[in-house]
């Protein structure tokens, strides 16, 4: 069974250093990312993919704080990231696919970079890391990005990022710094924030304006599936400006991936809420590479039909990302 994973990360050391020059002094660091695995785009990564039983990774750069730095610098750095990723995909076209990095602090420039990344570099979508200037994608300023994604018929992956410092201080502070930081990010907060991001896009009418736009959510839907019925029941009567019941937007225009959370109850809930046609696969490499040994076994042993396993493993991704024309090496920079 071929397996394609859609939330797999890399990082360019030079980009990280360049961004750091523009950022304020960070808060206490409590987590050390797997730098060696992030920076490797060659033999070691391919070997770990083979060991995990992963055939193709859809690569995306870590956020690196691009949304927090001056737009001019963000534009140049995003372009550099995408050019290097294109070279990596060109070197291994049967193993890697690209998601663009966008300078969201300048939505017009981000739209142009998305178009270049798709039409010139051959990328299959883009990854958006959380808020930009405390705004989600439902804000009218981001319409150039959404319009371009819809016109190109490529998806946007909404990836978690730390909530604003105001939210962190109000909701998650007051504990040991490591506890508060974990609580605000991968322990809870940034998943809630990403779910809010997706729900705001629904309530803001994004999918009425762009009815073919598709959005990807990791971590089994960033809490939404568990409360979708409640959300829909409460908001459908209130959101009378929308063209459809609110739950329809989630099950028709959003896809779910596990992000390396190989938990059967969450998986079965996702199956019940959106069905096998709306689930894609991901390991969240290298942040969950320790669990990589479970990646193939979890899906192979899942209590679902072989046909549904094939959909989740690769055929949904091939359809969504139009990968039938992937396997060539004529992508230009």
- The SS3 call for residue 56 is strand
Q: Which of 74, 80, 58, 51 is nearest to 9 (CA)?
A: 58
Q: Would you tell me how many other CB atoms lie within 10 Å of the CB of residue 72? A: 12
Which of 248, 284, 308, 330 is catalytic? The answer is: 284
Q: Are 39 and 88 within 8 A, CB to CB? A: no
- 259-263's contacts with Cβ under 8 Å and 24+ in sequence apart are 259/7, 259/218, 259/219, 259/220, 259/283, 259/284, 259/288, 260/7, 260/284, 260/285, 260/287, 260/288, 260/291, 260/295, 261/219, 261/220, 261/288, 262/291, 262/294, 262/295, 262/298, 263/220
Q: Give me the DSSP letters along 91-110.
A: HSTTTEEE-EE--TTSHHHH
Spatial distance between the Cα atoms of 199 and 225, rounded to a whole number of angstroms: 11
Q: Would you tell me how many other CB atoms lie within 10 Å of the CB of residue 80? A: 15
- 328-333's contacts with Cβ under 8 Å and 24+ in sequence apart are 328/93, 329/90, 329/93, 331/86, 331/89, 331/90, 331/93, 331/121, 331/122, 332/120, 332/121, 333/83, 333/86, 333/87, 333/120, 333/121
**Does the annotation count 138 as an active-site position?**
no
Spatial distance between the Cα atoms of 82 and 123, rounded to a whole number of angstroms: 9
- Tell me which residues are annotated as active site: 284
């Amino acid at each position: 069974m071929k397996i394609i994973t859609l939330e797999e990360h890399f990082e360019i050391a030079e980009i990280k250093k360049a961004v750091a020059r523009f950022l304020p002094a960070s808060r206490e660091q409590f987590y050390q990312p797997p730098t060696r695995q992030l920076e490797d785009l060659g033999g070691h990564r391919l070997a770990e993919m083979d060991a995990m039983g992963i055939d193709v990774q859809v690569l995306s750069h870590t956020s690196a704080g691009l949304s927090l730095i001056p737009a001019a610098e963000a534009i140049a750095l995003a372009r550099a990231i995408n050019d290097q990723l294109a070279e990596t995909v060109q070197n291994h076209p049967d193993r890697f696919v690209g998601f663009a990095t966008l300078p969201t602090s300048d939505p017009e420039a981000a739209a142009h970079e998305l178009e270049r990344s798709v039409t010139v570099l051959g990328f299959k979508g883009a990854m958006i890391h959380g808020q930009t200037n405390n705004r989600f994608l439902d804000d009218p300023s981001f319409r150039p990005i959404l319009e371009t994604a819809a016109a190109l018929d490529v998806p946007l992956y909404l990836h978690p990022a730390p909530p604003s410092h105001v939210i962190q201080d109000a909701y998650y502070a007051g504990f040991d710094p490591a506890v508060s930081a974990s609580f605000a990010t991968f322990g809870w907060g940034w998943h809630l924030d990403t779910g809010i991001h997706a729900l705001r896009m629904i309530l803001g009418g994004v999918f009425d304006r762009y009815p073919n736009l598709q959005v990807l959510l990791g971590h089994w839907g960033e809490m939404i599936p568990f409360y979708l019925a409640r959300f829909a029941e409460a908001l459908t009567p209130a959101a009378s400006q929308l063209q459809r019941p609110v739950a329809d937007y989630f099950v028709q225009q959003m896809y779910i991936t596990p992000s390396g959370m190989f938990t059967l109850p969450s998986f079965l809930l996702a199956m019940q809420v959106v069905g096998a046609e709306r689930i894609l696969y991901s390991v969240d490499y290298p942040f969950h590479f320790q669990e990589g040994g479970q990646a193939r076994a979890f899906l192979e042993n899942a209590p679902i039909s072989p046909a549904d396993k094939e959909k989740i493993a690769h055929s949904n991704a091939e359809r969504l990302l139009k990968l039938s024309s992937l396997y060539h090496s004529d992508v230009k920079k």
